[in-house]
Structures are given as structure tokens and as C-alpha cells.
Amino acid sequence: MFNRVKLTALRLLPKNAVSRAFGVVSDVPLPPGVRTAVNQGFATIAGADVGEAQHTPGAYRSLNAFFTRRLRDGARPIEAEDVGDLVSPCDGKLEQFGSIRESTLVQAKGRTYKLVDLLDSGRDAERFENGHYATIYLSPRDYHRVHSPTEGDVTHLGYVPGYLFPVNPFAVDHIDHLFAVNERLTTFLRNDVGEVAVVMVGATCVGRITLAFHDCRTNGSFRRRSDIEVPEDIRLEHGDELGMFNLGSTVILLISDPGFEFDPGLRPGTAVQVGQFLGSSSRGSA
């Protein structure tokens, strides 16, 4: 009964409007005298490690600036030696990973969703058939910037407007096809081994998703599905900054190479960090 009430409340809540409003409020400059208290207070409640940030909490002029703080140099070593190596694009919890079987990905126990629904493009989905995927959940305590999991050329972007349901464990366990109905922004990368897609999934109170190399941003007042071309000379290396969330959300990695193998030490629920080795392509390591 309680779960049904929660689900009904989630469906009725004007999530996109609330998230845009939250984004506006979080950007309001804080008076210098309260910045430390507000930002440190959020860090304490969320459990964020402020010691890893470039600056102390009082140096960030707004709550959003603190949400999207950069890490100090050297805080996240990049564990990649070869073009075929894949590293974690973000800090968070590795919720699900494995092979894409019959165009299907696992959301949670007993819940699946289709690759074509996630990407909203049959042409894009076809390239990842028989490949692999990994789903990483970022909680409010985590570092909110996303980095490139591989080296490669950015071929294009895909933006799909949608709902902004929360992506916390309760929502993942109870809302069908959650990642395929929420707003999402996908960066497609190509290298000599194959293709990797980085799907950044929006969520309630994620005021927007932005990219480091393009002016695209999500959750605007005018929203429509679009394939976005990018300049031909954009190339990212392992660990380069790709984009950021405002608060927490989810990143889904898609790997086209059927021969890719995940690190055998990984388990669902494992905490991962930016740059941590996730696996390697057999062709890349040959």
C-alpha cells in the first residue's frame, strides 16, 4: 500500500517543472558569510567528501557550483593502458552490467528494457546489438562530473526529452522502463576497437545536464528529440571531462564490441570511481 502511494505521488508530481525550479534556486549566489555553512551542511547530510574537491566549501558561490565541483589534481588516477580499455566515467555504484541479449538490458531484478527504447533510434541501437552495457548510479554524495570512459572521436549526440522520475533504488525497482522514459543525453564515441555510447539519464531535481565540449543542455522550456551533429575534430582521451549533472543521476555505458570482457572482480553493487578499470576489448588488447 505504501509503495503504491509513493508511486502515485511520483507520477502526479510535476517533475520537470520542479527540476527546472530547483536548478534556478541552486544557481542563486549565496552571501559570502553563509557559503561555508550551506555547502558544508549539504556535504554533511549527503556524506560527500569535501577533501577531494579543488576548493573548500566556502569558495563555491552557489549550491550548484558546489554540486558540480571539480576534484583536485590526481584525485582520480586513470587506469587505462590501451585503446580497448574501458574506465568508469563517473563515481557511483555499478548497479548492473553484462551482455546485451536480444536487444535487452537489465534495469533491476525482474525488470528489463529495450536498447532501441533507450536510444530512441533503430540506427544507433543496431550498432550495439550483441554488445555490452554497464549502469552506474550517482547518489547526491557523489562527484557529479562525467568523464570519457575511452579514447575516441565524438561522432554525434542524441537528445531524448522525457520524464524526470528519480533514479534511486526504489524507483529503479518499481517503475517499468525507467531509463528509457526519463530524459537522456547520449554521447557517441568511435575508435579503432568499436563504439562506446555514454548515456546520461536525467532525474528529479537534476536541473540540467550539460556537456564540456558542446553547448547542448537538457530540461529547457522547449524540448524536442534531436540528433545533434558535432564538429569533426572533437576527440576525447580516457578521463577527459565529458559533461556534468546537477545533483545525482545515472550513466549507462554501451559497448559495441561483442568481444569486450568486464573485469572479473566486478560485482553488481560495487562502488566505482572515475578512471577505475572496468574491462577491455579483446581486439584492443590483442
Task: Tell me the whole-structure pTM to 2 decimals.
Answer: 0.89
CB neighbour list of residue 106: distance below 8 Å, 6 or more residues apart: 96, 98, 112
Where is pLDDT greater, at 16 or 63? 63
Cβ contact 83:192 at 8 Å: yes
If you average pLDDT over residues 156-176, what whole number do you get?
86
Cβ contact 181:225 at 8 Å: no
- Taking only the tens place, the pLDDT of each residue in 205-260 is 655 788 999 988 776 655 567 778 888 889 999 999 999 987 668 999 999 999 99
The answer to whether residue 2 scores a pLDDT higher than 80 is no
Rounded to the nearest 5°, which phi and psi values hold at 19? -70, -40
To the query of whether residue 88 is one of the catalytic residues in this protein, the response is no
Lookup result for grid cell 554540486 = 67
Catalytic residue among 19, 249, 256, 280: 249
Q: Read off the C-alpha cell for 34.
A: 553563509
Q: Is 3 helix (H, G, I), strand (E, B) or coil?
A: helix
To the query of whether residue 91 is one of the catalytic residues in this protein, the response is yes
Query: What pLDDT is stored for residue 10 in this prediction?
Result: 45
Average pLDDT of every residue of the chain:
87
The answer to whether residue 115 scores a pLDDT higher than 80 is yes
Query: What pLDDT is stored for residue 255 in this prediction?
Result: 98
DSSP conformation letters of 117-160 = HHHT-HHHHHTTTT-EEEEEEPPTTS--EEE-SS-EEEEEEEEE
Task: From residue 18, give the alpha-carbon distance in Å to each of 28, 61, 204.
Answer: 16, 22, 8
Sorting pLDDT into bands at 50, 70 and 90, what band is 170? confident
Q: Which of 71-85, 105-119, 201-215 has the lowest average pLDDT?
A: 201-215
Catalytic residue among 19, 26, 91, 214: 91
The answer to whether residue 146 scores a pLDDT higher than 50 is yes
To the query of whether residue 177 is one of the catalytic residues in this protein, the response is no
Query: What pLDDT is stored for residue 13 in this prediction?
Result: 47
Where is pLDDT greater, at 5 or 64? 64
CA distance linking residue 265 with residue 146, whole number of Å = 23
Reported as half-sphere exposure (CB side, CA atoms, 13 A), residue 286 has a value of 8
CA distance linking residue 240 with residue 183, whole number of Å = 24
Query: What pLDDT is stored for residue 109 in this prediction?
Result: 81
CA distance linking residue 240 with residue 16, whole number of Å = 29
Query: What pLDDT is stored for residue 25 in this prediction?
Result: 57
Task: From residue 41, give the alpha-carbon distance in Å to each of 22, 49, 145.
Answer: 17, 12, 21
Q: Which of 144-148, 189-193, 245-249 has the lowest average pLDDT?
A: 245-249
Query: What pLDDT is stored for residue 121 in this prediction?
Result: 94
The answer to whether residue 286 scores a pLDDT higher than 80 is no
If you average pLDDT over residues 190-198, what whole number do you get?
96
Rounded to the nearest 5°, which phi and psi values hold at 218? -100, 175
Rounded to the nearest 5°, which phi and psi values hold at 23? -60, -40
Query: What pLDDT is stored for residue 219 in this prediction?
Result: 63
If you average pLDDT over residues 52-71, what whole number do you get?
92
Q: Is 258 helix (H, G, I), strand (E, B) or coil?
A: coil
Q: Please give the share of the chain, as a percent, with pLDDT higher than 90.
A: 64
Query: What pLDDT is stored for residue 248 in this prediction?
Result: 66
Cβ contact 231:154 at 8 Å: no
Cβ contact 159:185 at 8 Å: yes
Q: Where are the domains of the chain?
A: 2-67, 85-280
Q: What is the DSSP letter of 76?
A: S
Q: What is the DSSP letter of 199?
A: E
If you average pLDDT over residues 57-71, what whole number do you get?
91
CA distance linking residue 152 with residue 149, whole number of Å = 10
Catalytic residue among 132, 144, 147, 238: 147
